[in-house]
Structure formats: C-alpha cells, structure tokens
Structure 1
C-alpha cells in the first residue's frame, strides 16, 4: 500500500505565532498614568504659556515615552479657569494646581527674595544672562528654595520673558519731564522706578493694562515690546519711550510639594531637565522677539521715542539705592541679601554689561 507523507498541522505554528505577536504588542512594563493640572491666570497667547503648551508639555511627554513606564495626563487650566494671575502661588500651595507658573513680580513681599533684578535697574538687557544667574543663586543661596517650600512648593526654574522694560503711554513722552504727573501701571516691584521722575505707579497684572489705559484709569504702563505687541497696546498707548530699563526675572515654574513627593524619580528628573530647557528657550525668544516686536508695535500704529542717553543715566542716578535696601531687608531675615546682591552684580560685571550704577558698591 502506497504511503503518503503525514499532513502538516497548521494549528500549532499558528497558535505560536499569535502568542508571539501578543507578546510583542504588549509593553514590557505596565504603564502608569499620572494626572497633572497645569495652571496660570494669564491667557495662552502669553509667551511663557504658549511655550509651556508647545514645548514643555510635548518634550516631557516625548521623554517619558522612551521607556513607556509613565505617562502624564495633562489638564491645562489657563486664563483664570482655576486661578487668576495673582492667585497662582496660593492655588498651587492649596493643590488647586499641581504645576504652574508663578508671576513673582506681583507678589511683593512674598517673593521679595527673587527681586534682585528689579532692585538693580539699568544694568542689563540680557534675559539669558539674568535667568541663568538667578538659577545659580537658587542653588547657592538656600533661602530662595526655602521661600517656595514655605508655600508648599518645589522650585524648578525661573524664567525671564522680557528683554527690557520700556514705557508705553497714551500721550507722547519724549523725555523724563514728560513723565511728570502720569499714572503708570506696573507689576509691583517696578513701580519704584516712577516716583523719582514724578510719575505715579498703579499696581496690577498685565491682562488689565489695555483696559486701564483705554478707560483712563492710567496714562500708560511699564511693559516690554513683545507683550505690548501681543496685547495690542498700540491701540490705546501709541507711544513708546525707549528707556531700556532692563531685563528682569518675572516667572517661576513650581510644583506642589505634596504632588512632587509622590512622583517617581524618573518623572521628577524629566520635569526638572525640561524646565531648564524651557527657561533657556524663553530667554532666547525674549531676546529674539524684542526687536521684531518693536517693529510690530510700529506697524500697529505705535511711535517710538528714544530717551536721550544722558537722561537715561539721570533716571538711574535719581533712584534711591533700591538694591541695598532690598539686600538689607533680607539680611535682617538671615537670608544673605548682601551676598546675593554681590553675586548678581559680579555676574553682570563679568559679562561686561552696560551698568549705569554699581548698586552694591555705593
């Protein structure tokens, strides 16, 4: 009897193939999803929020995806959805937000520890230099991070989002004499520049400047060109006095301390590493967009008046020594104010900045 070869069974190889495919399609480690609510009271068109949305979040997600162990589900709450601009610090403190951008300039005494650039106007227009120096100081002087810890927060980095303050007004101002009697809106710290030139400061957040000028509550505002262009200030304040008052750190990226304590070490490292890159990106953009924003302001109907150099120097010299006042106040609290001031000014001198006053040496 003729023998035929035994039929080949397809069931066993097919089953093995399906098992193999299933194994390769499953992650090696189960992925953990972390919920984080990001907050700020300013709208998404603000430079620092725009870049948080377009750079920080995607970059964090990309790095987490490399080993696929953790994934963040972001809840983004901007423009007052959870907190107003002057409520971010308290919002993160209370856990209303997990991570957010605190505008330190509007917090007066609470954030006085970070006001060294505000206390030293007419020193530098370099946002990259200021932001890196402030982070160096945060690592060197414990009082800075302890201040944020006292508000139940972990300091990740600071941010400089402006190249230099200018004065934007409804009436044309071409000299210091033109400042006399004007009401000028500002963030808080910078209002101290106004009294020596006869102007009156009105404290408030950037989001309100347009309406304040439009309704006559104020005659103008202390702003930087990028923000003036973004918030269409030329429509109500069509005159810019180019005084180059200086670059300052105005933002801090923080995380609620209770949330931070629960995060895996790998996630913490990525959030921190990307924060530094976010800091550097904002400073770079602030520098790059300064000049182009002046052009945008002009296109929108604005006029730029250059403050004569001699008057700029006179403005700087007319100010009380804000820096030493700031340092002395911190010294009384044991916060090394004088040492911080010297460190900051040494960094500016080393970088050969156009310093109008040696604030720490007077």
Structure 2
C-alpha cells in the first residue's frame, strides 16, 4: 500500500563534498535520488545500503568529479510498506528500491529459484552469486522487472538459512500437527506435506506480534532477523531445520529515471550493486553464528533436527522446482534449463542437497 507522504532524509556524504572542493562547482552535476524500502532502517540490508552502497557510489563518482548524488532515503513505511516497494518504484515514488521479491511470486516467478529448491545450500554467498548469474545468463528475471517498469541491478541474499522459531519444542513433523506457522511467499508451501499444519502469511515486521498474540505457533525466519526483532521473547525454541538460503532482496531502478542517468552513473550503480550483493551475503554468514548465540543468551533453546527428520520434511513437499520450471517453460522462458543450471552452480560450490530437485 503506497503512502504519498514524502518524509525523506536528504544526505550528501563526505565524498561528494570532497568532489565539490576538488572541481569547479559548474563541472559537477548533482543528481537527486530517492531510495525506498518499507522495512525499517535497522534491517540489515537497509543499514548496509546506507553504510556501504551509498558511500561506495559517492566515492567512485568523486574520482572523476563529473557527478554527485543527492540521496533521499525513505524507509520504514514513510513512502511504502514492505510489500509496496515493487509498485512504488514502478510508479516513480522511489527512483531506487530494495524489492522484497518473496511477496511477488506471480509477477517475479523466476526470483523464486532458491525458494523452490529448499534443503540445498545454507551458504548465502553461493546462493546470491548463483541467482544473480542466472539473471544475467537468462533473460527471464530482467524481463520480469522490465514489465514492472524497472531496471534490474542485482539480487541479494540476507540470510544464511531459514529456521523454525516456535512457542514449543519441535523435533519432527508430528510436532506441527494442528499448528499455525507464519511465513512469506514460497516458504508457506513448505508446509503442504505437513499433516494438520496451516501456513499464515505475514512479513518480518509482523512475526513478533503474530507469535505474541497466539495468531501463530511458529514462524519461519533466519537467526539474524530473530536477533534484530527479539523473537526469543515470544518464540523461545528454534528448530534447526536448515531450509536453506534464499534470495529475497533485489535492487531495482525506475526505468524512466534510469533512462535519464548519464552512462558513468549507470556503470557505477551496476558495479556497486554487485559488490553490495556480495557484501550482504558475507554479513549474513558472519552474523549467523553470533545471532544464534544472542538467541541463546536471550533465553532461547535450539533443537537440532536429525538428518532423517530433515529428509522427511523435504520429501513431504510438492515438487516446487518442477512446478516453477513448468510455469516458466509455458511462458516462453527456459525454465527447466534455468533450474538445472542454478542447481549445478550450487553443487559445483559444495552444496549437498537433502532432496534432488533437478528437473528431468
């Protein structure tokens, strides 16, 4: 849902000031840019957009002194809610957006590659690179964003693996019978083979209240988010299911805005977006262990599912990879080839799938 209030916070970083001092004022063109995300500034990927992406762009533009960016960052619902970034960028309420793609599986089906292949890899670095490479090797992903009047820059992974956070101990599928589980997008389908369990759609900012009020008994999220949003207070049990790492954040630019940018600025944005992708993945991996430790320190308990329990869960799921491949094939994209190429990239980097999702 889009809100038209433009509460933004302009910033001009030190690098741009240095550029103005080093070059005549008339030689520097200022480009205004509105960045949007519905999630709050404390969210890891939003923090790193402010602390990594923006300063890196400023630094590189300052090297030539031809251009400088005047950034207006609008997060936490000031312009759009978390589910509204895709539409917000499409309509021009933001020039650059961090789109949470799991909310838009019908409009961005190929972005579901990692979500449709759970229990394969817990390495955010490997998954991020593989998904982004597929986006550049096959036209589907970029064309999906083009239909939303956006230019694709890079796909990011902000979690090492989804786990299950609960108000009671869980060690097998039987422990979920009759329970409600919060999730977002494709991961709600992980419950389809679990007898008696029901998925409830929600977003990361909703999960605490959903658990606290008893609307749900469990929530699927990752350790860093559990720490940031203090999930141990309402869900003191974490089942180490290791659903796997999933891409959920994609940086895009409004098409009309993009068409007016100088080539130099376009190149810098594209290059930094890839570095931002890798930067986020590294942080996700670094914070995973310390976030679990923080969860324990906050009173949480961690229960390791056995290999047999993980396999039972994986085997209970519908063939999500086949469904995605078929959907993309029918739309004229190389769905089968994309899914298999993605899985090959993961296994070439050490992934050991609990279930073989290869499309025959």
How does the TM-score come out when normalised to structure 1? 0.91
Within a 5 Å distance, the mapping from 1:104-253 to structure 2 comes to 104-198=101-195, 199-253=197-251
Two-structure CA RMSD over aligned residues (Å)? 1.3
Q: How much has 1:354 moved relative to structure 2? A: 1.5
Q: How much has 1:196 moved relative to structure 2? A: 1.1
User: In the TM superposition, what whole-angstrom CA distance separates every residue of 1:25-63 from its partner, at most 9, and x where no partner exists?
Assistant: 762862111000000000011110010011111111111
Does the Cα contact within 8 Å between 2:23 and 2:65 map onto a contact in 1?
Answer: no
Match for residue 261 of structure 2 among 245, 260, 263:
263
Does the Cα contact within 8 Å between 1:29 and 1:69 map onto a contact in 2?
Answer: no
Higher deviation after alignment, 342-351 or 296-305 = 342-351
Gaps of 5+ in 1: 1-23
Match for residue 66 of structure 2 among 62, 65, 69:
69
Structure 2 CA distance, aligned partners of 1:262 and 1:297?
Answer: 47
User: In the TM superposition, what whole-angstrom CA distance separates every residue of 1:205-229 from its partner, at most 9, and x where no partner exists?
Assistant: 1110001111111112100000000
Does the Cα contact within 8 Å between 2:232 and 2:299 map onto a contact in 1?
Answer: yes
Gaps of 5+ in 2: 1-20
Does the Cα contact within 8 Å between 1:154 and 1:260 map onto a contact in 2?
Answer: yes
Does the Cα contact within 8 Å between 1:27 and 1:68 map onto a contact in 2?
Answer: no
User: In the TM superposition, what whole-angstrom CA distance separates every residue of 1:87-141 from its partner, at most 9, and x where no partner exists?
Assistant: 0000000000000100001112112111011111101111111111111111111
Q: How much has 1:352 moved relative to structure 2? A: 2.7
Q: How much has 1:256 moved relative to structure 2? A: 0.3
Structure of higher CA gyration radius: 1
What SS does the aligned partner of 1:163 have? Answer: coil
Match for residue 288 of structure 1 among 281, 286, 289:
286
Over 2 Å off, 4+ runs:
none
Equivalent residue, structure 1, for 2:316: 318
Does the Cα contact within 8 Å between 1:91 and 1:97 map onto a contact in 2?
Answer: yes
Q: How much has 1:359 moved relative to structure 2? A: 0.9
**Cα distance, 1:361–1:110 mapped onto 2, change above 3 Å:** closer
Q: How much has 1:358 moved relative to structure 2? A: 1.6
Match for residue 301 of structure 1 among 299, 302, 309:
299
Match for residue 92 of structure 1 among 89, 92, 102:
89
Structure 2 CA distance, aligned partners of 1:337 and 1:205?
Answer: 28
What SS does the aligned partner of 2:336 have? Answer: helix
Report the count of equivalent residues: 339
Equivalent residue, structure 1, for 2:343: 345
**Cα distance, 1:36–1:28 mapped onto 2, change above 3 Å:** closer
What SS does the aligned partner of 1:137 have? Answer: helix
Structure 1 CA distance, aligned partners of 2:222 and 2:67?
Answer: 39
Does the Cα contact within 8 Å between 1:154 and 1:257 map onto a contact in 2?
Answer: yes
Structure 1 CA distance, aligned partners of 2:269 and 2:191?
Answer: 39
Structure 2 CA distance, aligned partners of 1:243 and 1:26?
Answer: 56
